[in-house]
Amino acid sequence: MSKWYIGQGKDGDVVLSTRVRLARNVTDYPFVEKLDDERRMQLNEKIRDVILPLDTKFSFIEMKSLTDTQKISMVERHLISPEYTTAPNGRALILSDDEDVSIMLNEEDHIRLQVMEAGFALEEAYEKADRIDNELSSKLNIAFDERLGYLTQCVTNLGTGMRASLMLHLPALTKQGVISRLASTVSKLGLTIRGAYGEGTSHTGDIYQLSNQITLGISEKEALTNLASIAKQIIQQERNARKELTQNDDFVDSIWRAFGLLKFARKMSCAEFMQLISLVRVGVSQNILDVDVEKINELTVSLQPATINARHKENFTAAKRDAVRAKEIREALGG
Amino acid sequence: MSKWYIGQGKDGDVVLSTRVRLARNVTDYPFVEKLDDERRMQLNEKIRDVILPLDTKFSFIEMKSLTDTQKISMVERHLISPEYTTAPNGRALILSDDEDVSIMLNEEDHIRLQVMEAGFALEEAYEKADRIDNELSSKLNIAFDERLGYLTQCVTNLGTGMRASLMLHLPALTKQGVISRLASTVSKLGLTIRGAYGEGTSHTGDIYQLSNQITLGISEKEALTNLASIAKQIIQQERNARKELTQNDDFVDSIWRAFGLLKFARKMSCAEFMQLISLVRVGVSQNILDVDVEKINELTVSLQPATINARHKENFTAAKRDAVRAKEIREALGG
């Protein structure tokens, strides 16, 4: 089964993936913060009974049934938020088997519906989320105010309750040192640019998350159009910067060296891997290297620390994991 | 024609090559410092007429007929001393076509006869030098004092006029930081350990030159036995240190990474090449990597800056030369 994070979608040289998240609450229950475990579980089952009949691909997973390793691996795959791993009681996840739909129950809101797609696919992701949202609305009393829109526990989500985001690979703009200027520009336009794992996370491997900030007094369509239009400009800037950088022999050399290290190293930390694979990704996009992008996408997810442990059902030391990571890179890249 | 510096000789994992040099002067002429160009040339021809009939493999090369690039390349191949390139007038070199015999005329002494061999081959090199020396003695009046021995321009060579040296690859002892202690020990035993290009040069690529210091009041045989016995101890120390180091995963990783960089880099300075190839050499000696040592030996000589320029008959910029070097490494190692 090919996961969304492995495929290469539209504008996949810069846009790794798209995510649309809708925050919803059910009127019959107070907000999550005020719900005890028992009522949370009651609510989980109610939502499960709406979603599971929609498609056989959905599974219902109680968070307390998962090991820490499994939970952190889910964060690494962007299926759940880091916060969602901390207090498992009364929390459950509805996950599609190709992992493109992930519904966190009792995270900050009763329902955090997320749809992920490869590449630049805001409309597709939104439509898929919207269809599931319509099912929820038809079967449950979703908290909605005619004037404000969807009611959410945190005011920053009030209105559309929608956060749409694009995972962008911006190695050339990072190299040119223009990201902080870009961040300040997009913030004036109602967007934010952050590390790959959201607020306060670093831009490991030159991967950034561009998302809308405004949910109130704006329609979903307007928010998506705004995000798409700014994203297109950033994509173009990144492509121009890459073209410029690849005129530089030292930069081209650094791409080949990264490839050589990945193919031969016997130990590799996740941070170094992310940094080197970023260069390899640019090399592929500029026709310098010939590596299957799906392989790169797969490694980028499968070599995250907890995902390695989860796959091997082991609790490796960091040193052992670095050796396993290096071995799996060599196997994938033919070192 | 395989040159002495390409083959792998006895104890070739540590001893890259052996050199025996004899300093001789002819009584009919004052020391070099006191000789004008015309008399130097006269002397050159006299010596030429003794040596060239010995073997068709010898050529007589006037130093002023060479370009700077050719001369520096000869230094890089250890055929002549760096000082010998500075004032070409009145200087000539007798060189064998496999470059194992190099006779500098009018360097510091009238005759600086050098014999080079791959690996640990002090006796072989000395015997070959001795045979040529006997020819010289039988045809020329060589300056010799019954009490002192051979007379040389500089007192440090008085006596045997012999300097025997071994080019040692000591990456593990370098890594363990014991070279300066070793240097102080060997100096008490009448030996010296220096960079690959002699006094005041650095130990690029962990290559050192171990040689005798004492020429007075000692026979050639005693000097060679002393050098050989200390060399054997150093060889054993280096081998033990390598065994110990290769127990360390990080060190093994660094060997593989060096190999990956050599196979894929698009630009490489000579200093970086020497550092990386040193690791590859250890990797081969410890059965970690499978690379032909003769290929490594050849690259170590052929990728020196002036030798690259001389081979391509170009005066490359440093950047261009780094690109040529990287290309030739890839071709040799199959990158």
Distance from the Cα of A263 to chain B's closest Cα (Å) equals 7
Q: Are residues B108 and B166 in the same domain?
A: yes
**Final residue before a domain boundary, out of A223, A241, A259:** A241
pLDDT of residue A202: 63
Residue B265 has pLDDT above 70, yes or no: yes
Asked if pLDDT for residue B224 goes beyond 60, the answer is yes
Least confident of A128-142, A198-212, B250-264, B281-295: A198-212
Our count of domains for chain B comes to: 2
Cβ(A265)–Cβ(A326) below 8 Å: yes
Residue of B nearest to A252 (CA): B266
Chain B segment 107-166 residues within 8 A of A by beta carbon are none
Indicate if the pLDDT at residue B197 is higher than 70.
Answer: no
- A138 and A167 both lie in a single domain: yes
Judgement on whether residues B228 and B85 belong to the same structural domain of the protein: yes
Are A253 and B267 a contacting pair at CB < 8 A?
A: yes
Does one domain contain both B235 and B280?
Answer: no
The ipTM value here is 0.88
Give chain A positions within 8 Å (CB) of B264. 256-257, 259-260, 263
Does B241 have pLDDT greater than 60?
yes
Question: Within this chain, do residues B267 and B149 fall inside the same structural domain, yes or no?
Answer: no
- Stretches where chain A sits below pLDDT 70 are 1-2, 197-203, 335
Return the structure tokens found at B46. Answer: 């006299």
Whether pLDDT at B1 is above 60: no
**Do A61 and A152 fall within a single domain?**
yes
Q: Does A263 touch chain B (CB under 8 A)?
A: yes
pLDDT above 60 (res B295): yes
pLDDT of residue A4: 81
Euclidean distance between the first and the last CA atom of chain B, given in angstroms as a whole number: 26
Overall average pLDDT of the B249-257 stretch: 97
Question: Which CATH number is A161's domain given?
Answer: 3.30.590.10
Is B183 touching A (CB cutoff 8 A)? no
User: With bands split at pLDDT 50, 70 and 90, how would you rate the model's confidence at B310?
Assistant: very high
Q: Looking at the structure, do residues B263 and B201 belong to the same domain, yes or no?
A: no
The rounded mean pLDDT for chain B is: 94
Q: Looking at A241, A268, A301, which one is the last position of a domain?
A: A241
pLDDT at position B202 is: 63
Instruction: Reply yes or no on whether the pLDDT at B203 is more than 90.
Output: no
**Domain match, B235 and B169 both:** yes
- Expressed as residue numbers, the domain containing A161 is 4-241
Confidence of residue B331 (pLDDT cuts 50, 70, 90): very high
Q: Do A212 and A327 belong to one domain?
A: no
Based on the fold, state whether residues B14 and B161 are members of the same structural domain: yes
* Last-in-domain residue among B241, B262, B290: B241
Q: Taking a contact as any Cβ pair under 8 Å apart, which residues of chain B between 36 and 75 contact chain A? A: none
Same domain, A206 and A269: no
